Amino acid sequence: MPKNKPSSKFIILDRDGTIIEDRGYIHKIKDMKFLPGAVRGLKKLQNAGFRFIIITNQAGLARGIYNHAQFNIFNQELIKRLGTKNIKIEKTYYCPHHPEFTRSCRCRKPKKGMVLQAAKEFGFNISKCVYIGDKDSDMELGKNCKGITVLIENSQYPNRIQPDYKAKNLYHAFKVLAKTRVI
């Protein structure tokens, strides 16, 4: 059976600073905290027919701050916690590289590598996706893929790239998108 219906709409979601608090190289479960509006927003977006892919840069791996096993344990706990709230994440893709510490790569956002991989596996058109994140690299990724961009403004990072839409959190992002033809 195919993994998706052709009509499936996908959201490419950043993780840290978008779904959970970005405390910098976060990898300990005790530090995992949902951002305000994140769970409610994901539920609303899911009810509107969206499916979620997490695409995240994890330079903490390149820097040796944590390892792949620790990343996986942390991320699986996040997927489980979302699951208890009936929110399904289809898959998480992560880039473990950083040009200062490892080879350069094709996956580190804003490069399209991880989106292309997901598009191949799930059979969606990358230009039909909504890209939600809190950094310029997320917005650049969305623009590189010619999709719709929504910036979560959490004022942790300077933002120079103009997104299609801005929102305070994921619930606000749902409300913003609901006013458009995107939903």
Q: Does the annotation count 138 as an active-site position? A: no
9 is in an annotated binding site: no
Q: Contacts with Zn ion in 105-144 (CB under 5 A)?
A: 105, 107-108
Work out what residue 108 binds among Mg ion, Zn ion, none; the CB cut-off runs from 5 to 8 Å by kind.
Zn ion
Residues near 69 by beta carbon (within 8 Å), at least 6 away in sequence: none
> Which of 50, 62, 74, 134 is close enough to bind Mg ion by CB under 5 A?
134
Per the DSSP assignment, residues forming a β-bridge with 168 are: none
149: nearest Cα among 109, 96, 118: 109
* 16 assigned to active site: yes
Instruction: Count Cα neighbours of 94 within 13 Å in the Cβ-side half-sphere.
Output: 17
**Which residues, 11 to 30, sit near Mg ion by CB under 5 A?**
14, 16-17
Closest residue to Mg ion, judged by C-beta, is 17
Q: Of these partners, Zn ion, Mg ion, none, which one is at the site of residue 182 (CB under 5 to 8 Å by kind)?
A: none
H helices of 26-146, where?
38-47, 59-62, 68-84, 113-122, 136-144
Q: So which residues are the catalytic ones?
A: 14, 16
> Which residues form the interface with Mg ion (CB under 5 A)?
14, 16-17, 134
